[in-house]
Amino acid sequence: MKKIVLVLITALAVINCKEEQKVDVEYVINKFKEFADKREKVSYNIHAIDSFANSDEVSIKNGFAFIDRNDKDTTLGYSFYSKIDDNPTEYVFDKGVRFLISKSDKTYEAEERTNEVALRRKGGDMVVKEIFHLDTIFYKSVALNETDKNYVLKYKYKNDSTLNISNYATSVELTKDNFFPIKITTTYEIIGNRSFNQMILNNVKINEETNNSIEGYKDEFKHYKLIQPEKEERQVNPLLTKDLPKIDLPDLFNSNETIRLPFDKLTLIDFWEVWCGYCIVAFPEVENLKNKYPTQLKVIGIVTNDIVKAKELIKLKKTPYQNLIGNDELKKTFAVNSWPRYFLVDKNGILIKEYFGFTEQIEKDIKEIIKIP
């Protein structure tokens, strides 16, 4: 009888244990945090794929990264070393400084980087932040899928009407044995054009499994020659202070109607493209200038690529100023190779100012030109 009771108690304990270990989103996220908190050092090989909205270009990178947790680092919370295959430069980020190392000529550059966004390029694109942190705040919903060996968290996010981003989703695939992210996939659409990013990690080594260290990587180049990076000096636009040539461009919504530039009043020209988030964010600022100086200022937008999507975007944003269709020759004439780009042309048709991105200086210059205190 005692044996029967003991068996029943054991069986009930097993059942209760299974009930307590119900696998759901909360369970997986908590287990991830439990394991992530114990990760001090991680190394891995990475295969990264990027395809971009409004472009047929696909970027494929293979590389290696080593990450060393550093809770005192206020930028990332860790230091890292990274190397991209077929790229001779190696990268180290430690204590707010990024090092760009060339072993072939035994030199290195050092630059302060205290902004996470600035670290996403030049080596930072091999770093997977989901190793230590999962999103617990910004998602709209999260669901859980399960395979034989892995859990897959599927995040969905709210549409961003400012940048016209929709259907934004990320999936994070975690191993069941140590809840390590081995695949992160992100997709979203910009005006119906799909963008895709995927990072696949393999040959993962955690803590004592890896013998690497940031100090070890830094020791490798401490005797190299420190060189100062060349400062990129913007060339003076050849059109500045000169008469703008007569330019005929078709209207965005009526290609049979041709508009001639310049006008006989102060004009702000806005070069933008559909894929340019900063361009779209600045639309309300440009519109505000048009509304504040309706009689003194003419505003013209110029877009060159993806005209169908550009029309949809202008309708969606209800942008009130006129937009024209540009071309590659026009971009060469204005020396436009980054977006957004703004130009002020005075009433005599002379290009007097150029701006690399929207800035408060635009309105200051407008006020000075039209003599508003």
Is the distance from CB of 139 to CB of 155 less than 8 angstroms? yes
In a domain, 251, yes or no: yes
Domain co-membership, 81 together with 166: yes
In a domain, 17, yes or no: no
Exposed / middle / buried, residue 131 (Cβ in 10 Å: 0-12, 13-18, 19+)? buried
pLDDT attached to residue 3:
52
In total, how many domains does the chain have?
2
pLDDT attached to residue 232:
58
Name the domain boundary from 191, 226, 261.
226
In a domain, 19, yes or no: no
pLDDT attached to residue 231:
61
Bond into 250 cis (ω within 30): no
In a domain, 136, yes or no: yes
Domain co-membership, 260 together with 199: no
Domain co-membership, 206 together with 255: no
Domain co-membership, 218 together with 77: yes
Domain co-membership, 209 together with 280: no
Domain co-membership, 115 together with 209: yes
CATH number at residue 281: 3.40.30.10
In a domain, 146, yes or no: yes
Please tell me the number of Cα atoms within 13 Å of 14 on its side-chain side. 6
Domain co-membership, 67 together with 212: yes
**Domain span including residue 155:** 24-226
Domain co-membership, 68 together with 183: yes
Domain co-membership, 67 together with 213: yes
Query: Among 326, 315, 321, 276, which Cα is nearest to 299's?
Result: 321
Domain co-membership, 207 together with 333: no
Domain co-membership, 78 together with 155: yes
pLDDT tens track, the chain, 373 positions: 545 545 455 555 555 544 566 899 999 999 999 999 999 999 999 999 998 766 677 889 999 999 999 888 878 889 999 999 999 999 999 988 999 999 999 999 998 876 676 677 788 889 998 999 998 888 999 999 999 999 999 999 998 877 778 899 999 999 999 999 999 999 998 877 788 999 999 999 999 999 999 999 999 999 999 997 666 566 788 889 999 889 999 999 999 999 999 888 999 999 999 888 789 889 999 999 999 999 999 999 999 988 988 998 898 888 889 999 999 999 999 999 889 999 999 999 999 999 999 999 999 999 999 987 6
Query: Which residues sit opposite 48 in a β-bridge?
Result: 61, 199
In a domain, 262, yes or no: yes
Domain co-membership, 219 together with 145: yes
CATH number at residue 115: 2.50.20.10
In a domain, 231, yes or no: no
In a domain, 8, yes or no: no
